[in-house]
Structure 1
């Protein structure tokens, strides 16, 4: 595929990104990408808008980032090229999305009890119809002047795991996630598996067990992995015969990372696509 630039992890306003799906694909083309994946949290709601606005020559990979939990540790599973209409998987995504609303409302209530001048109505306005989540609550905190940055929201003082205003949510067992995605014809990649600054991460041994259960790859090149971590994850991927991807995890202005900041090797991308049967990448014409 030559010098092809591929970013397999990007969010739109269908979840917690700030770009609309149409703006996301326009930004991807402007950033010089050849391939971009739309991977909103537990939803495929951005597909139609992204596909309708797809610039000529840009390839869109339909996907989702699934909320999972293993032995008390939250983790994210990237799913690509699955059939979004497959009933069992569609029902499970809906369960997770519905619980995101309950959770975000409960966190907002806790913040009010802590004296923060935020409202549920404002959180919903910030979400603007997207799958509501912690980043929207964090944005309300920032807007109210309670914190100085979005990152500050994700600490024990506020919304961080176990924090004063933290509320747990319904999350998939990652083994169930792999099974559901495979049954829908898709492929799975463990997102930022060693992003230790976000909180607890699963042990390396668990990645081996997930690989044995059918995991296709791990996200290696990511803003939350330092060089030593990337090297160890690349070696682990080779040992476990997992595909090693690279992605920006773009969220628009909600994070500082830019589209294409990290990319996936074209050969790895081709292997991922070859394993999928639920959907195909879409190229703008």
Structure 2
């Protein structure tokens, strides 16, 4: 009996806000029975080389990143994420923009820690930085500091409104989403909108924006994701069919920062093959 390959196209390592190193991540993906896994750390490609070096036999790796983006069609601007696959990591414009965003993320995180400390919350910026271990700094690293201080039980509680979900959350200086799509395409990559209908995360973008992004070069939509209800997943699938976009499914794995497991949601082989084709790849990017 021929079984369909298991493909998870959205995971994070310690290169951003995951808790497994890139090497541990690819080994865990193989142990989870995946055939293909994408490493998509926030605004960085730093995990690519160590993931390739540690790739287990039989596992294919798709190199990618999750870009921090915004849409200025409303006030305040909406934050959203764009998954970028198989782009040239040396594309000058994209490299420069990712570097700018990483600096902005770190500045924002330091300001959030300052707000916490001003209210008497004993978290240390050096400890937050140490916890990031050189990776892209994000709210999960501040959440980890709050957990270590015994102020919250877990990341979910740290992301509640009274903490990092609202009271101490600050906006990021992200990439305009149309600019991001342009940069990814110019770098030979394939852009896919991450969890576009995840209302549990906050305000969602209108379908009209996604249609405009499709006209600008967006390749696909992430439908199957734990933060999207079955009804939301169905809506995304319908919209993708209407616009001729590919559909992905993935875990958005972050290690112990989230309860979701590798391979909890997967991508159909046809969508994966379309991503490879759009990037000019006839075979998987790297195979152990």
TM-score by shorter chain over 0.5? yes
1:148 aligns with 153
What is the CA deviation profile of residues 149-171 of structure 1, one whole-angstrom value per residue up to 9, with x for unaligned ones? Answer: 211222331222xx221222110
Q: Any conservation in 2 of the 1:74–1:201 contact (CA below 8 Å)?
A: no
1:264 aligns with 267
SS at match of 1:39: strand
2:256 aligns with 253
SS at match of 1:253: helix
1:28 aligns with 29
TM value normalised by structure 1? 0.96
1:214 equivalent among 197, 204, 217: 217
Q: CA 1:165–1:278 in structure 2 vs 1: closer, same or farther (change >3 Å)?
A: farther
Q: Distance in 2 between matches of 1:169 and 1:229?
A: 26
TM value normalised by structure 2? 0.95
Q: Distance in 2 between matches of 1:279 and 1:95?
A: 33
Structure 2 counterparts to residues 1-285 of structure 1, below 5 A: 3-71=4-72, 72-160=77-165, 163-277=166-280, 281-285=284-288
Q: Is there any run of 5+ residues in structure 1 with no aligned partner, and where?
A: none
Q: Distance in 2 between matches of 1:211 and 1:2?
A: 32
Q: Any conservation in 2 of the 1:15–1:41 contact (CA below 8 Å)?
A: yes
What is the CA distance between 1:200 and its match in structure 2?
1.3
Q: CA 1:199–1:279 in structure 2 vs 1: closer, same or farther (change >3 Å)?
A: farther
What is the CA distance between 1:222 and its match in structure 2?
0.2
What is the CA distance between 1:278 and its match in structure 2?
8.5
What is the CA deviation profile of residues 43-69 of structure 1, one whole-angstrom value per residue up to 9, with x for unaligned ones? Answer: 000001000000011000000000001
What is the CA distance between 1:283 and its match in structure 2?
3.2
Q: Distance in 1 between matches of 2:31 and 2:269?
A: 19
Q: Is there any run of 5+ residues in structure 2 with no aligned partner, and where?
A: none
Is 24-33 or 1-10 further displaced after alignment? Answer: 1-10
| Pairwise CA RMSD | 1.5
* Number of residue-to-residue matches in the alignment: 283
What is the CA distance between 1:193 and its match in structure 2?
0.6
Q: CA 1:280–1:175 in structure 2 vs 1: closer, same or farther (change >3 Å)?
A: farther
What is the CA distance between 1:284 and its match in structure 2?
3.1
